[in-house]
């Protein structure tokens, strides 16, 4: 019997096949509440300009002519287009809807505090990407929105579970990797559209950060540091067969526990190879 025969391995996609549950207060729910609270408060702060932008959104926004307002690199991620603008409520709805459905699996993978630091760092990275690109090609204006962080969440989810089916626009079922292609095409479309008001630079910056966190297995420490970022250099090791066997068993047990909680679709290619290696070892040992 190999790992594929275990009951909970057959329960593929158990957490991705249904809407997220918020039985306890998750970090995703907390972040959504903060964003919605800021949006409601913004409506009572008075108009800043004729386009309908309110004062609170303006104060929280990153501005190309005021890059020294360093707090805005974080605050802009909790502000959205004001109710009186052309985007109105659709800006915050799109971001929060995406975070609501794709955020919980990523939070389960990273942990509550790990997800918080991942989200906050993604806001900063997305904002910096937009500002640097805007300054580079002489653009102006300001940016608000959680799109950089939400894009990081989307990218992490896609690479974590590429074959999970997602209903695009609530109707069209596509695999997660298909959502990634759609995301990339849409951002490229806006990038070359002269009349676009979409901050595609923040989207792609956040998505790149989400990919890097997943690909390199970066972990977020208590105060927002990222461990494992500079630990790819090879190290001299002494081969110990018994220790290697025990390490393989421990790793396999951790992955099997992950399957039980998140479903087989959440496994990376590296984790799948490790499980197959462990299963092969089990069969070999029983044949002797």
Q: Using one digit for the tens of pLDDT, what is the confidence trace for 163-184?
A: 888 776 667 788 888 878 877 7
Hey, what are 167's tokens? 């209903």
Distance of alpha carbon 73 from alpha carbon 114, whole angstroms: 20
Residue 226 clears pLDDT 80, i.e. is over it: no
Domains present along the chain, CATH in parentheses: 3-8+241-287 (no CATH), 11-227 (1.20.1540.10)
What global pTM score does this model have?
A: 0.72
Q: Which band of pLDDT confidence, cut at 50, 70 and 90, is reported for residue 224?
A: low
Write out the DSSP string of 160-193.
HSTT-EEEETTTEEEEHHHHHHHHHHHHHHHHT-
Residue 24 clears pLDDT 70, i.e. is over it: no
Write out the DSSP string of 28-74.
HHHHHHHHHHHHHHHTTS-B-STT--BHHHHHHSEETT-TT-TTHHH
Residue 197 clears pLDDT 80, i.e. is over it: no
CB 178 within 8 A of CB 164: no
Distance of alpha carbon 124 from alpha carbon 75, whole angstroms: 9
Distance of alpha carbon 25 from alpha carbon 31, whole angstroms: 11
Q: Which band of pLDDT confidence, cut at 50, 70 and 90, is reported for residue 225?
A: low
Tokens 């957490």: give the residue: 15
């Amino acid at each position: 019997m190999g790992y594929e025969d275990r009951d909970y391995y057959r329960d593929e996609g158990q957490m991705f096949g249904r809407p997220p549950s918020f039985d306890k207060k998750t970090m995703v729910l907390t972040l959504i509440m903060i964003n919605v609270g800021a949006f409601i408060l913004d409506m009572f702060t008075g108009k800043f300009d004729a386009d309908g932008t309110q004062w609170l959104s303006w104060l929280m926004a990153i501005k190309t002519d005021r890059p020294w307002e360093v707090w805005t690199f974080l605050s802009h991620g909790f502000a959205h287009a004001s109710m009186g603008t052309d985007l109105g409520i659709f800006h915050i709805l799109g971001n929060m809807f995406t975070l609501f459905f794709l955020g919980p699996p990523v939070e389960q993978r990273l942990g509550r505090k790990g997800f918080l630091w991942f989200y906050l760092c993604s806001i900063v990275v997305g904002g910096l990407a937009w500002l640097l690109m805007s300054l580079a090609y002489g653009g102006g204006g300001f940016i608000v929105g959680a799109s950089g962080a939400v894009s990081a969440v989307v990218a992490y989810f896609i690479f974590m579970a590429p074959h999970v089916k997602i209903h695009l626009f609530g109707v069209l079922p596509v695999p997660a990797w298909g959502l990634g292609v759609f995301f990339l095409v849409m951002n490229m479309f806006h990038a070359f559209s002269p009349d676009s008001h979409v901050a595609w630079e923040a989207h792609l910056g956040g998505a790149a950060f989400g990919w890097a966190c997943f690909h390199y297995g970066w972990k977020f420490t208590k105060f927002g540091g990222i461990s494992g970022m500079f630990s790819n250099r090879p190290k001299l090791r002494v081969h110990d067969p018994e220790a290697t066997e025990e390490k393989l068993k421990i790793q396999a047990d951790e992955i099997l526990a992950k399957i039980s909680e998140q479903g087989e679709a959440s496994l990376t290619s590296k984790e799948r190879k490790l499980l197959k290696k462990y299963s092969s070892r089990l069969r070999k040992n029983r044949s002797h």
